[in-house]
Amino acid sequence: MQPYLAASTYIDFDHPDVAAQARRLAEGAASTHEVVRRCFEFVRDEIRHSVDFMQNPVTCKASDALRHRTGYCYAKSHLLAALLRANGVPTGLCYQRLSVGDTGAPYCLHGLNAVWLDDLGWYRIDARGNKPGVDAQFEPPVERLAFAIREPAERDLPEIWAEPLPCVVQVLETEPDVAAVLRNLPDVPLIG
């Protein structure tokens, strides 16, 4: 579990602001589930999704998403991982491959998290941010993610990553603004 508890460049819970926010969210919590719920709801509800609000700057590091209170799903998942890891909860990064529109190409990755709950094992949560048609919740053992898989070329990718995928980082660190990221969303080819 050590990789899922470690600080890193993008999951930088060793940043003073992230560490302080993690402590505030965990203060007085009676259980790990309560800590996870508080961190999840904070990121889902208090960090604006970049596209929903067309809000710059583009963030990638957890600390930047916290400071600017905005991020694509990827940066929000980095922040949630950082807050949970700071509280000793093993947390990884997961991805779905979804149609950018209603159906068909183009496709893009959607970032979310998997958290280790001792009573359940790995449990996926999606702090993307709710809006009409999107209602992600923390309701273990039921997964209530932002998006369902609707067609054959969409996928729930099974891996749980300790670090963000390079293609995600590359887009977030090179595109100049939210609109440019939206035009160049990361994707991975399907095999088989």
Structure tokens at 23: 């402590």
**Alpha-carbon span 154 to 67, nearest angstrom:** 33
pLDDT of res. 159: 97
Reading the chain (192 residues) residue by residue, the pLDDT tens digits are 999 999 999 999 999 999 999 999 999 999 999 999 999 999 999 999 999 999 999 999 999 999 999 999 999 999 999 999 999 999 999 999 999 987 889 999 999 999 999 999 999 999 999 999 999 999 999 999 999 999 999 999 999 999 999 999 999 999 999 999 999 999 998 876
pLDDT of res. 190: 82
pLDDT of res. 101: 85
Pinpoint the alpha helices (H) of 124-177: 166-174
pLDDT of res. 189: 86
pLDDT of res. 192: 60
pLDDT of res. 115: 98
**Alpha-carbon span 77 to 164, nearest angstrom:** 9
